[in-house]
Amino acid sequence: MVNGVHPPLSAHNRPHLAPAHSPPSRTPMDVLLTIKSSPLFTFTLLLAVSVLVPPLIERLRLPGLVGLLAAGVVLGPNGLQMLDHKTETMQLLSEIGKIYLMFVAGLEVDLEQFHRTRNRSLGFGFLTFIVPLVTGLAVGRAFGFGWNASVLIGSLLASHTLLAYPIVSRLGVVANEAVTVTIGATIVTDTAALLVLAMCAAVNQGEMTPLRLVELLGGVAIYSVVVLWGFERAGHEYFRRTGDDRGNQFLFVLLAVFLASVGAQVVGIERIVGAFLAGLAVNRVLGDGPVKEKVEFVGSVLFVPFFFIDMGLLLDLPAIASSAASLGLAAAIVVALIGSKFVAAWGAKLLYRYSWTETMAMWSLSLPQVAATLAAAIVGVQLGIVDNRVFNAVVVLMLVTSILGPVITTRAASRLTLPKGSPVDDDEILWAPPNPLALPPGDMEDDRGLCRLPFSIVVPLANPLTASYSLQMAAILARYEEGQIVPLAVVRSPGSGDEPEVDAALQRARQLLGRATAYVADLEVPVKPVLRLDDDIARGIARVGREQTASLVVMGWGTESLRSRLFGSTIDETLAATRCPVAVVRLADDPKTFQRVLVAVKDLEPKARRAMRFAQIFAAANSAHLIALHACAPQTSPSQMVEMQEGIGRAIAEMEPAVSYEVQVIPAEDPARAIASAAKGVDLVVLRSVRRRTAAGLVIGDVTTAAIPLLTCSLVMFGEPHS
């Protein structure tokens, strides 16, 4: 420092400053790799595949799950390498899908059908389990696998998936005893196969001493009782307490599934066993109500497809093609499965004296290997009991049987004898049964000693443009049944009800009710208007229906198509919430002018007759001509078509009132287009709303939903009440 002044900094005394570095530039490849490793990208890609691929594959008349497996192969390590089975995101979503798949498999088991043919279902279930088990064990030993692995291979062949159920349902032969027995046998084969898997897993983990075997069996028995009995009781109690709170009920079901899966791990058995038992446990709790539909919907469109895509990631097609041993094992397993299932069906023929047609139907229905087989195979690979050769062979088996089974089922079921329908009381066919405790006995008693409640039709009023025709349609029914109409205006009040907009809505509702009451009075039908303030429109309609002991709800809709409103709309929620039938109407003209009424008939079950008699009453009230149309599969034999035609004719003749009618049974590849073609020249079409998933859990479809956009005439969609 000179005179207090610092000297200028030289190169030697200047402090060293690190040179500034600019961030390295990222190449497009770096960005792509970062995106590919993102869980959000994985989830988005899985959603895209689930949405786009199954519909394309189903156009080729193949199950949608085949497309998901193929997509997994293309996007996996042997293809574009865009998905990796080893990532945490993929493993989590696949595990949830696997658990959900087995839960839905348990949920799909029709316990009522099983109880009706319990002994024969147990007998055929034992045959179609033990014969493939022994055959698969022999195949495993022949290819050098150990005893534990061979037993597991046998168990993979022992179960079956009812992939062809929609075929027998469409042909109307579900009630045939051979079909019912096969459906009931599913619970035997799937449960037994999963228990064998649990035993093989326990053996694989260490020494299986007699004491350890007793402990395992005892733990499984106690655990099964806790799940099957405890979860069912808890479910009934929870659903009773929560009433119409479907959101919490849905969460309760999910909790039951994953709680049972975690509990299975605690006991020492596989998670999918717990998920399957949970499905059986909540089966009776859910019934066929809206919560079951939502549970199956979430699984079928979200988690289950993720599992099948992950299976495609694991499938090593180059290894199968290049290895003669892998090809030989796959061929041996396929032949063993087809042969052993046929031997089991032939044994049932000898025991129960079934015809060859029924035997072929039982064999083909028990052929497809999808849900339990794939889930158990992947568990076996993960535990190291079997190697990838077995998994690859199981995927080949699934592809072959998922195509072969439905093809044979179509041919065999088309020749099955249709069940003869028993006479059913008219009121029990169309209207919900009365509550005998609602009124005191006396003059209101019918000839059976039951209290006869006033016949009531609830007509929700929302659109003034459609209200008049809806009320006229209700009046036709009310006059025939000597009942009353309940015009209903529901005002939604999500808060306390003190909001100014609520007061305005109440005033509009009173005016609408006043006009409706005057209109119905002119129709000379008793009227009982109801104004309801509720936090939800659909629940308000359902609650008024129960309070009024309604026999029917008639709803109208305006210019918006029903297809766009069936999911998440007031109509959809009302169909799900009500305890009586719901008629959703789209009327282009005054219903008193209808002269030709067409009703689509799927089968001759009592529920299907509801729509038939609904159309029959309108035809009788208007002196109209009734056309009953049954669109059958193209493979249906001429004798079966004649039998169905005669059966529908008998059903109409047995029901009141008498009408002029004709029955048309036509083969059709596309039932929706057949209905639309037959509807040309008619005034009203009556359709029944039924939505059913396929057994693989991938498709939700309904002929009614497909037919609605094709129809230009007046339309009634008759919705079934939920139990």
Q: Nearest 5°: phi and psi at 685?
A: -115, 130
The pLDDT value given to residue 341:
92
Structure tokens at 618: 């309108």
Do 381 and 470 share a domain, yes or no? no
pLDDT at 167 over 80: no
pLDDT band with cut points at 50, 70 and 90 for residue 98? confident
Query: Is there a contact between 720 and 618 (Cβ–Cβ < 8 Å)?
Result: no
CB atoms within 10 A of CB 447: 6
Which range, of 207-221, 274-288, 605-619, averages the lowest pLDDT?
207-221
Coil, strand or helix at 445: strand
pLDDT digits (tens, 9 = 90+) for 125-161: 899 999 999 999 998 888 888 888 888 888 888 887 7
What is the sign, positive or negative, of the torsion defined by CA atoms of 567, 571, 576, 582? Answer: negative
User: Between 88-108 and 290-298, two packed helices, what is the crossing angle to 10 degrees?
Assistant: 140
Q: Report pLDDT for 171.
A: 67
In a domain, 168, yes or no: yes
On whether both 213 and 327 belong to a single domain, the answer is yes
> What is the 8-class DSSP label of residue 8?
P
pLDDT of residue 699: 44
Distances (CA, A) of 647 to 461, 642, 659: 39, 9, 16
44: pLDDT confidence band, cut at 50, 70 and 90?
confident
Average pLDDT over residues 294-299: 76
Contacts of 543-547 with CB under 8 Å at 24 or more apart are 544/458, 544/486, 544/488, 544/490, 545/458, 545/578, 545/579, 545/580, 546/579
Q: Choose one of 552, 585, 618: the last residue of a domain.
A: 585
Residue from 172, 176, 199, 187 nearest 124 by CA: 187
Does residue 84 have a pLDDT over 60?
A: yes
Shared-domain flag, residues 380 and 465: no
CATH number at residue 229: 1.20.1530.20
Q: What is the CATH number of the domain that holds 532?
A: 3.40.50.620
| 686-to-376, 526, 656 alpha-carbon distances in Å | 45, 26, 17
Tokens of 620: 């009788």
Is the confidence at residue 441, as pLDDT, over 50?
no
CA distance 189 to 158: 6
Pair 316, 375 in one domain: yes
Question: Of 413, 439, 466, which closes a domain?
Answer: 413
> How many structural domains is the chain composed of?
2
- Looking at the structure, tell me whether residues 356 and 226 fall in a common domain: yes
pLDDT surpassing 60 at residue 451: no
The packing angle between helices 88-108 and 246-267, to 10°, is 100
| For residue 11, pLDDT beyond 70 | no
Check the CA dihedral 457-460-465-466 and report its sign.
Answer: negative
DSSP H or E segment with residue 76: none
Q: Which pLDDT belongs to residue 433?
A: 43
pLDDT interval class at 598 (50, 70, 90): very high
Three-state secondary structure call for residue 442: coil
In the predicted structure, residue 448 carries a pLDDT above the cut 50: no
pLDDT at 432: 47
- H or E element, residue 716: strand 714-719
Say which range, 179-183, 509-513, 573-577, has the weakest mean pLDDT.
573-577
- Which pTM does this prediction carry? 0.60
Based on DSSP, count helices (H) and strands (E) in the chain, helices before strands.
30, 12
Could you list the residue range(s) of the whole structural domain that residue 393 is in? Answer: 51-413
Instruction: Over range 101-106, report the average pLDDT.
Output: 75
Q: Is the pLDDT of residue 642 over 60?
A: yes
Residue range 674-678: mean pLDDT, rounded: 88
> What pLDDT is stored for residue 508 in this prediction?
85
**More confident position, 477 or 419:** 477
The encoded tokens of residue 384 equal 């190291």
Q: How confident is the model at residue 7 (pLDDT cuts 50, 70, 90)?
A: low
Q: Which of 553, 585, 617 is the last residue of a domain?
A: 585
Q: Do 355 and 491 fall within a single domain?
A: no
Sign of CA dihedral 389, 394, 396, 397: positive
| Average per-residue pLDDT for the chain | 76
Higher-confidence position of 249 and 487: 487
CA atoms within 13 A on the CB side of 48: 10
pLDDT of residue 343: 92
| Phi (first) and psi of residue 431, to 5 degrees | -100, 155
pLDDT at 234: 86
H or E element, residue 327: helix 324-352
**Alpha helix segments (H runs only) across 109-245:** 111-116, 118-142, 147-158, 165-170, 177-205, 210-225, 232-242
Distance CA 438, CA 453 (A): 8
Using 50, 70 and 90 to split pLDDT, how confident is the model at 262? confident
Q: Are residues 380 and 471 in the same domain?
A: no
Tell me: do 146 and 270 sit in the same domain.
yes
pLDDT value at 10 more than 60 = no
Structural domain includes residue 60: yes
Mean pLDDT of 646-663: 85
- pLDDT digit string (tens) for 322-339? 655 667 888 898 999 999
- List strands edge to edge, sheet with 684-689: 530-534, 484-492, 456-460, 552-556, 582-586, 714-719, 684-689, 596-600, 625-632, 660-667
145 falls within a domain? yes
Joined tokens for residue 497 = 């009800």
Query: pLDDT tens, 531-586?
Result: 988 877 888 888 888 888 888 888 887 544 444 443 346 777 777 777 788 888 88
The answer to whether residue 682 sits within a structural domain is no
Q: Can you tell me the distance from the alpha carbon of 8 to that of 261, in angstroms, rounded to the nearest whole number?
A: 77
* 297, pLDDT greater than 80: no
Range scoring the smallest mean pLDDT among 138-147, 357-366, 372-381: 372-381
Judged against a pLDDT cut of 80, whether residue 506 lies above it is answered with: yes
Cβ atoms of 158 and 196 within 8 Å: the answer is yes
Q: Is residue 474 part of a domain?
A: yes
Q: Is residue 668 part of a domain?
A: no
pLDDT at 445 > cutoff 50: no
**Do 85 and 226 sit in the same domain of this protein?**
yes
* pLDDT value at residue 442: 40
- Euclidean distance between the first and final Cα of the chain, in Å? 99
Domain membership flag for residue 76: yes
404 and 459 part of one domain? no
Query: Which amino acid is located at 379 in the chain?
Result: V
Q: Are residues 470 and 335 in the same domain?
A: no
Any domain includes 157: yes
Does residue 384 have a pLDDT over 60?
A: yes
In angstroms, what CA-CA distances link 254 with 231, 247, 260?
12, 11, 10
What is the model's pLDDT at position 342?
92
Shared-domain flag, residues 337 and 465: no
3-class SS of residue 692: strand
- SS3 of 578-622: CCCCEEEEECCCCHHHCCEEEEECCCCCHHHHHHHHHHHHHHHHC
**pLDDT for the residue numbered 252:** 86
Q: What percent of the chain has pLDDT over 70?
A: 76
Does residue 251 register a pLDDT over 80?
A: yes
